[in-house]
């Protein structure tokens, strides 16, 4: 999967996990300060990443800042894919 496809997949997962927020989630959206990525949304995000990207991320081993935006989460996914 190339980066634009991966970004679109991630944004779809985040939109579902965060309850289809208005305005839509963008790559630079601050998910933490906006309150969009709460503990329930994080669980849904992790399940979506596992299903669509085939990787398991352990949130307790990943610094909070890595979850701040879709762009930072995408970099995290890319690092774990190889």
The CATH number given to whatever domain includes residue 26 is: 1.10.1200.10
Cα distance between residue 4 and residue 22, in whole Å: 22
82 pLDDT exceeds 80? no
- Enter the tokens of residue 5: 């496809």
Cα distance between residue 38 and residue 31, in whole Å: 9
Q: How many domains does the chain have?
A: 1
Q: Among candidates 17, 47, 11, 48, which has minimal Cα distance to 29? A: 11
Domain that holds residue 69: 3-81
pLDDT of amino acid 16: 95
Q: Chain-wide mean pLDDT for the chain?
A: 94
The percent of residues above 70 in pLDDT, for the chain, comes to: 99
pTM of the predicted model as reported, rounded to 2 decimal places:
0.92
10 pLDDT exceeds 80? yes
CB-based burial, 17-32: b 16+ in 10 Å, e otherwise? bbeeeeeebeeebebe
Across the range 29-52, mean pLDDT stands at 96
């Amino acid at each position: 999967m190339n980066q634009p496809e991966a970004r679109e997949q991630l944004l779809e997962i985040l939109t579902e996990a965060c309850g289809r927020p208005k305005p839509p989630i963008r790559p630079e959206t601050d998910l933490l300060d906006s309150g969009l990525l709460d503990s329930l949304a994080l669980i849904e995000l992790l399940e979506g990443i596992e299903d669509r990207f085939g990787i398991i991320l352990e949130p307790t081993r990943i610094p909070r800042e890595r979850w701040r935006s879709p762009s930072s989460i995408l970099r995290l996914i890319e690092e774990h894919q190889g």
